[in-house]
Every structure is written in C-alpha cells, then in structure tokens.
Structure 1
C-alpha cells in the first residue's frame, strides 16, 4: 500500500474512533504511518481526505440495504416492499452505528465542518436516488428524475428522522411495521378525502 491508501485507511479509523470534529491531521498521520505533507500532496486538504474516507465508509452500507428483492403481487413500490426496505435500513443503522453517528455529526456540526459539509451536499442526489431505487424497486439507472427529486427527497426525510430516533433511543424508535402502518393510514385518509 502507498501513502495515499495508508492515509485513507488511517483517516477511516480516526473517523470511526473520533469523528470529524475531533480528528486532526496529526491523528491521521499517526494512524497511517505517513507524514503531514502527504495529506496535501495526495488529497489537497485534511477535509478532502476525511470526506473521501467517510464516503469509503458509507459506500458498503448501500450494499447492506440495497433493498429486498420482493415481488409483492408483482407490484413495485407496494407496502410490503416499503416495510421490508425500511426494516433493512433500520438494520443498517444498528449494524453501522459509528458511521451513522458521523452522519449525525455532519448534520449537527455543519457550520464547523464547512468544507466537509459542502462536499457531502453534492453527494445528496446519489443518496436520494439510492433510497428511492430501494423503496420503489426501480433500478437506480432507470429512475426518472422526478422520482429522485420528489420521492427520493421524501424517503431521505424519513431516513433522517428514523436515523435520529434509532441512534438516540432504539427502545422507543419507530419500527418498519409502525412506519408502514402510519403510511397505510395516511393513504386511507387521503383516499377518503378525495
């Protein structure tokens, strides 16, 4: 492994142990066995390295909740798929708690992490597309733009709320079943009102 890869691996370990705010360039150098100049040479800045390390940590999580391959009466995007998809997401929060805690840190400490925040804002569209593909059952490459921009935003809003609940107090957090039942009831009320 070269310095670039060593830095990335060291930064990933630092993020998992200390998070964004408490990780220093010296921490990364110590953890990676490299030198301070390597960070600038290979990544441009500590923030850019931390963003790349964070992305490397969250990318595998997408595979963890790519979504159930179900055929609920041949219906993509049905309530059964919705419930299984959210169950999968909740399982990922529990299994990858340190990574989700970093995500929460970015949300709550955004002003202190301006460089990191800006880079991650650019990655939000990919997140919306991934969650929309999982819940709807439509391949991400085939998702219409309006599905990403409307349904993807709706699903990421649910994701952020669920993430906070499960990180704060898993005992009282909303389950996939409760979320699905809530959606079913909202759909019934809307249908009754029409």
Structure 2
C-alpha cells in the first residue's frame, strides 16, 4: 500500500476516534506512518483528506444497508415492505456504538468552520441519493438519471439526515423502520389515487 492509501486509512481511524474538528494533520501522519508533506501532495489539504476519508467510510456502509444472508433484502423493489427492510438496515447502523453517522452531525454543526470538508460533502450528497435509489427501488446506480437523483434521491438523503440527527440526539425516541413505514402508508393514503 502506498502513502495515499495509508493516509486515507489513517484519516478514517482518526475520524472515528476524534471527529473532524479534533483531528490534526499530525494525528493523521502518526496514525498512517507517513509524513506531513504527503497530505498536501496526495490530497491538497488535511480537510480534503478528511472529507474523502468520511466519504469512504460512508461508502463502506453499503453492504450493511442491504443486509446479509438471511437478513438480506427480500421484498420487491419499490414496495412498502422493501422501504421498511432498507430503513431497518440503515437504522441498525445508527444504533451501533461509535457510529460513523455522528460525524454527519458534526459537519452539519460545524460546516462554516470546515468549509472545504462541507464543499466536498455537498457534492457527495447527490451521489448518496443516487446510491439509495437502487436499494429501495431496484435497478442500478449507473442507470439513475440526474433528475431522479435530484428529487427521489434527495428525498431519501433528507430522510436519512433527519434520522441521523434524531439517533444522535436521543436514540431512545428516534423512530424505527416500522414507524417510518406507517408514516409512508399514511402519506400514500392521504395522497389518494393520482
């Protein structure tokens, strides 16, 4: 493994241990076994490296969203049952101690103080929505048109951001997948046939 990969993995470990604001370039260097100059050479800045490390951590959650083995997704894509399965899996990642999602709350709260990190993550949001659509609706990520990523994808990202905030604030009162699904059923019923 080269310095670029070592830095990314070291930055991921630092983020999980210290978060964005408390992680220094020296922490990353110590954790990765590299040198300060490598950060600038490979990533441009510490904040750019941290943003890419966070994105890599989130991308690594994809398998957990799908579930594993018997717990894998079984309901038909686009169904209310599939909605409940996927959100149940996503919520399970939020309940884990040391959840990566607490970093999202930090970036929301400190976005103005970490503008380079925020700017990278703003770009990544659209792709996050594009990635959630196939989980819930079927199909392939590459086949999701930009317009769908900007509407349905951002709907899912907004729902996820709200859940992250609620689970970070008080996991005891945050909604489960069953409650979200019942809420969705009520919205569908109220909308009536189109």
User: Please, which moves more after superposition, 139-148 or 101-110?
Assistant: 139-148
Is the 1:97–1:167 contact (alpha carbons within 8 Å) kept by the matching residues of 2?
no
Equivalent position of 2:148 in the other structure? 147
Matches within 5 A, 1:9-158: 9-66=9-66, 68-72=72-76, 76-95=77-96, 97-158=98-159
Counting matched residue pairs gives: 190
Q: Secondary structure at the match of 1:170?
A: coil
Equivalent position of 1:4 in the other structure? 4
Is the 2:65–2:90 contact (alpha carbons within 8 Å) kept by the matching residues of 1?
yes
Can you list the C-alpha shifts for 1:117-150, whole angstroms capped at 9, x where unaligned? 1111111111011112211123222223332221
Deviation at 1:116, TM superposition (A): 0.8
Aligned-residue Cα RMSD (Å) equals 1.9
Deviation at 1:104, TM superposition (A): 1.3
Give the distance between the partners of 2:134 and 2:82, measured in 1 at CA.
11
Can you list the C-alpha shifts for 1:91-126, whole angstroms capped at 9, x where unaligned? 122237431011111111100110111111111111
Is the 1:66–1:134 contact (alpha carbons within 8 Å) kept by the matching residues of 2?
yes
Segments of 4+ moved more than 6 angstroms: none
* TM-score of the superposed pair, with normalisation by structure 2: 0.89
Give the distance between the partners of 1:138 and 1:37, measured in 2 at CA.
43
Can you list the C-alpha shifts for 1:73-101, whole angstroms capped at 9, x where unaligned? xxx31111111111111012223743101
Is the 2:7–2:28 contact (alpha carbons within 8 Å) kept by the matching residues of 1?
yes
Deviation at 1:56, TM superposition (A): 2.0
* TM-score of the superposed pair, with normalisation by structure 1: 0.89
Is the 2:12–2:50 contact (alpha carbons within 8 Å) kept by the matching residues of 1?
yes
Q: Secondary structure at the match of 1:56?
A: helix
Can you list the C-alpha shifts for 1:32-84, whole angstroms capped at 9, x where unaligned? 22221221122221112112221221211022113753344xxx311111111
Which has more radius of gyration?
Answer: 1
Structure 2: any 5+ residue segments left out of the alignment? Answer: none
Give the distance between the partners of 1:139 and 1:131, measured in 2 at CA.
10
Give the distance between the partners of 2:139 and 2:52, measured in 1 at CA.
28
Give the distance between the partners of 1:97 and 1:156, measured in 2 at CA.
21
